[in-house]
Amino acid sequence: MLQDGCADCKAKRAEAAATARARREQRERARQVKVRERESEAQIASYWKGLAPEERERLDAAALDQADPADRAAYAAATAPQVRRLLQAGLRDAHIRRLLGLPAAD
């Protein structure tokens, strides 16, 4: 009877250890995703800052032109300047991601 209890205890400890390991691995994967996203954002910002004003205008136009139709419609429907700026920034960042070969943002 005692041996059955020990086997049960060992199984529970092994399960708890596996669960803890899985949680640590999940946290590490999430941390790595955040690091990669920060690096991507830095690359996008650097690319944008490196453009001359007329290049920025062309890039914004290309971003809007190549955007998903629903995103273009949302931009066209926005009447508040702040909303249009936010939408344009999102379209721009997505376009720069494509230009730089970066993964799409989640």
Q: How far apart are CA 67 and CA 2, in angstroms?
A: 68
Count of domains in the chain? 1
Give the domain range for residue 25: 2-100
Please give the angle made by the CA atoms of 12, 30 and 17, to the nearest 5 degrees.
10
pLDDT per position in the chain (106 positions), as tens? 445 568 788 889 999 999 999 999 999 999 999 999 999 999 999 999 999 999 999 999 999 999 999 999 999 999 999 999 999 999 999 999 999 999 988 7
Residue 91 lies in a domain: yes
Cα of first residue to Cα of last residue in the chain, in angstroms, is 53
Q: How far apart are CA 100 and CA 31, in angstroms?
A: 23
For 24-49, how does the pLDDT look when each residue is reduced to its tens digit (9 = 90+)?
999 999 999 999 999 999 999 999 99
Residue 105 lies in a domain: no
Q: What global pTM score does this model have?
A: 0.75
